[in-house]
């Protein structure tokens, strides 16, 4: 579910409502990817200062410390004045004076991790090696081009790794590569300046469009206010194996790269 657009849409869907709230209770369900790193009781009384995002992590800034939330593959947040009783897949919850924030995550690849301050080692461990933010001014074309040249990997896998640019997951990597007319299996270092510039622009463009569309709801994504996304209807290649290319009508092809499916048009995206 959650690539950068879904995380950003989630962030926007509850930030203004939770800012200023004071935590009255915190509770955990089944274990997530990593331990919380503190006793949930210790969060009681903390005030929420803001909700940020770095890559696919949400950062709930508190008056003491920060909570990192990751949605994994199947996570979503809900925030409402009152939520129904917790179910078997609800694994983290904050009760505040502005409402309840809950992480629903059937597969439990998600995480909630507490860091006591900005220099906590866990922050460096989880965020320290992340690449550029594609929607920010620091998404430098020059750095991007240099990163392509320095890699020996296929471009799709370089994008997914998140060390050059963050937030591009399996859907948006396929979509950006289609827009840039680059085949996912192309070695990154063999992408010349013109195609690199197209890809740089395509990454930003597809992510912006997806945010504007409320993200992609493939099966069950919802923002914290319950709204679904509709970018999936705009996808040119993702999940469209065998369907006609929107540009040239050639059937969309699928290949496996590192246990992930990549979709592309064999004509529009020449090797």
Partner DNA sequence: ATTCTCACCTGCGGGC
Partner DNA sequence: TGCCCGCAGGTGAGAA
Among 58, 69, 126, 211, binds DNA (CB under 7 A): 126
Among 44, 143, 153, 267, binds DNA (CB under 7 A): 153
Per CB under 7 A, the segment of 15-23, 44-52, 165-173, 197-205 that binds DNA is 165-173
Minimal distance, residue 71 CB to DNA, in Å: 7
Residues facing residue 222 across a β-bridge: none
The count of residues interacting with DNA (CB under 7 A) is: 46
Torsion sign (Cα): 203, 205, 206, 209 = positive
- Residue 3 catalytic? yes
Site for DNA in 65-104 (CB under 7 A): 70, 72-74, 88-89
- Residue 156 catalytic? no
158 interacts with DNA by CB under 7 A = yes
Rounded CA gap, 247 and 230, in Å? 21
- Residue 2 catalytic? yes
Rounded CA gap, 55 and 71, in Å? 11
Minimal distance, residue 55 CB to DNA, in Å: 6
Minimal distance, residue 35 CB to DNA, in Å: 12
13 interacts with DNA by CB under 7 A = no
Site for DNA in 172-211 (CB under 7 A): none
Per CB under 7 A, the segment of 16-24, 154-162, 196-204, 243-251 that binds DNA is 154-162
Closest to DNA by CB, 20 or 226: 226
Residues facing residue 55 across a β-bridge: none
1 interacts with DNA by CB under 7 A = yes
Task: Return the HEC string of the chain.
Answer: CCCHHHHHHHHHHHHHHHCCCEEEEEEECCCCCCCCCCCHHHHCCCEEEEEEEECCEEEEEECCCEEEEECCCCCEEEEECCCCCCCCCEEEEEEECCEEEEEECCCCCCEEEEECCCCCHHHHHHHCCCCECCCCCCCCHHHHHHHHHCCCCEHHHHHHHCCCECCCCHHHHHHHHHHHCCCCCCEHHHCCHHHHHHHHHHHHHHHHHHHHCCCCCCCCCCCCCCCCCCHHHHCCCCCCCCCECCCCCCECEEEEECCEEEEECCCCCCC
Per CB under 7 A, the segment of 93-101, 133-141, 161-169, 198-206 that binds DNA is 161-169
Interaction mask 215-244, DNA, x per CB under 7 A: xxxxxxx-------x---------------
3 interacts with DNA by CB under 7 A = yes
107 interacts with DNA by CB under 7 A = yes
Task: Write out the residues near DNA by the rule CB under 7 A.
Answer: 1-3, 6, 30, 33, 55-57, 70, 72-74, 88-89, 106-109, 126, 129, 150-154, 157-158, 160-162, 169-171, 215-221, 229, 258-261
């Amino acid at each position: 579910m959650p690539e950068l657009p879904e995380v950003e849409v989630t962030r926007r869907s509850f930030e203004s409502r939770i800012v200023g709230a004071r935590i009255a209770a915190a509770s955990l369900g089944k274990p997530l990817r990593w331990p919380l790193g503190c006793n949930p009781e210790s969060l009681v009384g903390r005030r929420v200062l803001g909700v940020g995002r770095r890559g696919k992590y949400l950062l709930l800034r508190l008056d003491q410390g920060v909570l990192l939330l990751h949605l994994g593959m199947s996570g979503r947040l809900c925030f409402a004045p009152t939520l129904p009783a917790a179910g078997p897949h609800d694994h983290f919850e904050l009760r505040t004076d502005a409402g309840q924030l809950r992480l629903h995550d059937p597969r439990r690849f998600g995480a909630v991790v507490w860091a006591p301050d900005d220099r906590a080692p866990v922050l460096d461990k989880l965020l320290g090696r992340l690449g550029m933010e594609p929607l920010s001014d620091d998404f430098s074309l020059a750095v991007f081009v240099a990163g392509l040249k320095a890699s020996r990997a296929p471009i799709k896998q370089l994008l997914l790794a998140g060390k050059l640019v963050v937030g591009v997951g399996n859907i948006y990597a396929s979509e950006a590569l289609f827009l840039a007319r680059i085949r996912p299996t192309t070695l990154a270092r063999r992408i010349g300046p013109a195609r690199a510039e197209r890809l740089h622009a395509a990454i930003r463009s597809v992510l912006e469009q997806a945010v504007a569309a409320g993200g992609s709801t493939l099966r069950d994504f919802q923002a914290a206010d319950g709204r679904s996304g509709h970018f999936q209807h705009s996808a040119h290649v993702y999940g469209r194996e065998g369907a006609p290319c929107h540009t040239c009508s050639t059937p969309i092809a699928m290949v496996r790269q590192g246990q992930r499916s990549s979709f592309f048009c064999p004509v529009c995206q020449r090797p």
